[in-house]
Amino acid sequence: MKQLLILGAGTAGTTVANRLRKMLDSQAWGITIVDQDARHYYQPGFLFLPFGLYSQRDVMRPKTRFIPGGVELVLAQIEAIQPEQNRVRLVDGRSLSYDFLVIATGCRNDPEATPGMLEQEWRKSIFDFYTYEGAQALGEHLRTWDGGRLVVNIVDYPIKCPVAPLEFLMLSDWFFQKKGMRERVEITFVTPLEGAFNQPISSRYLGGILERKGVKVVPEFMVEHVDPDAKKLVAYDESEVAFDLLVTVPLNRGDAAINRSGLGDELDYVPVDMQTFQHPKHANIFVLGDAAALPTSKAGSVAHYATDCFSENFVRHLRGQSMQSRFDGHGTCFIESGFGKALMIDFNYEVEPLPGYYPLPGIGPFALLKESRLNHWGKLIFKDLYWSYLVKGHDLGVPPLMSMTGKRRETSEA
């Protein structure tokens, strides 16, 4: 019996395990998935935890609920991948052999990479919200915080879900208005980018919304260190931004096991073919989700579309046929903007987010780069779709490749 080994039981790993268990002959193929955490998180929901909109039951489930029959779940930490031996070593001393390997180990926060961040003010006046523990701690703090200088900062790119910091800013404006204390809160966005977002057209749209909400944007700020005593962000050019409450997106990097295996780049992401996800040196290794060094967003929708393309391609590859489905970097994201509204963006490797409607021109029902209540409900409904269908590998009938249908071309200067 041949062995397919999947490293990581998050969105990408669990989805591909469900899909391939249906597609591969169970008499000929054994499938094993490895993860160190027994809990599966709905990570987009972390954004809502600090504002009391979601609770633990919305964002956390046992991983065993989503692992299909016929797939073995191994709860263990990965020590290293040994591609020359077709083997993975676990921290507990065990080794797992494979014929094919799928790396879906995701990415992680590395606050330790920024001097001063993890010192005495960590989770006192300095918080993250990209982890369950951080989002919960921030929520506790916000319940009693009496105002001041709120700074939301991105240390560097790439990051998981690039729109989440913008959502946090806009939800903060709504949250403090709802509490009747918005006039006591100065909200500042500190970013290494030239504007609010990393694409010109969407940056103009989103930056305009931030401006209308009274959010100050400090662009091209490259954090060198945090001064926890003076409560300041300090850049490499020695410019400073003071804060009373810092909500940071620390440096993101791949899993530490990738570094120990010598398979990653300087941030421990694994280089792969951007259309087939195949490793450039090891033909029996594929990389999906946030673990891959790809020029697209590290977001759940990208992982879902990628998994659609990969699954069909992988079966063809096993038959000795060419891999025909060429992933285009497609991603779709709802962007919560507060007051019961949200925006939507749809993009790929070549096409930046454009205005228009999705999926049908002039009809939608979802508006692109435009606030609407329907987009907000789409964002909320997605959570239930995730738990019930997407992570279980069900096909929702949404094409994985991006379509220009409904989108309106315009220049960034328009």
Q: In terms of domains, do 239 and 210 share one?
A: yes
Q: Give the model confidence (pLDDT) of 181-236 as tens digits.
A: 999 999 999 999 999 998 899 999 999 999 999 999 999 999 999 999 999 999 99
Q: In terms of domains, do 242 and 262 share one?
A: no
Query: Which pTM value belongs to this model?
Result: 0.96
Start-to-end Cα distance in the chain: 59
Q: In terms of domains, do 43 and 104 share one?
A: yes
Structure tokens of 364? 């939608």
For 27-54, what is the mean pLDDT?
A: 97
- Structural domain ending residue among the three candidates 197, 217, 252: 252
For 31-52, what is the mean pLDDT?
A: 98
Q: In terms of domains, do 236 and 310 share one?
A: no
In this prediction, residue 198 carries a pLDDT of 87
Q: In terms of domains, do 262 and 236 share one?
A: no
Phi-psi region of 364 (alpha: psi -120 to 50; beta: other; left: phi over 0): left
Domain containing 237 — which CATH number?
3.50.50.60
- Structural domain ending residue among the three candidates 271, 292, 318: 318
Domain that residue 233 falls in = 111-252
pLDDT band at 413; cut points 50, 70, 90: low
In this prediction, residue 163 carries a pLDDT of 96
Q: In terms of domains, do 134 and 208 share one?
A: yes
pLDDT band at 364; cut points 50, 70, 90: confident
CB 124 within 8 A of CB 308: no
Percent of the chain at pLDDT above 70? 99
Compute the mean pLDDT over every residue in the chain, rounded to the nearest whole number: 96
Q: In terms of domains, do 104 and 210 share one?
A: no
Q: What is the DSSP string of 135-193?
A: HHHHHHHHHH---EEEEEEE-SS--BSTTHHHHHHHHHHHHHHHTT-GGGEEEEEE-SS
Interatomic CA distance for residues 323 and 301, integer angstroms: 22
Q: In what order do the strands lie in the sheet with 240-242?
A: 223-227, 232-235, 240-242
Q: Where are the beta strands (DSSP E) in 282-389?
A: 285-287, 292-293, 331-338, 341-347, 356-360, 364-368
pLDDT > 60? residue 412:
no
In this prediction, residue 83 carries a pLDDT of 98
Q: How far is CA 274 from the centre of its chain?
A: 17
Q: In terms of domains, do 128 and 194 share one?
A: yes
Assess if residue 405 is contained within a domain. Answer: no
Q: 284, 296, 328: which is closest to 309 by C-alpha?
A: 328
pLDDT > 90? residue 325:
no
Q: Give the model confidence (pLDDT) of 287-316 as tens digits.
A: 999 999 999 999 999 999 999 999 999 999
Interatomic CA distance for residues 32 and 11, integer angstroms: 16
For 45-55, what is the mean pLDDT?
A: 98
In this prediction, residue 116 carries a pLDDT of 98
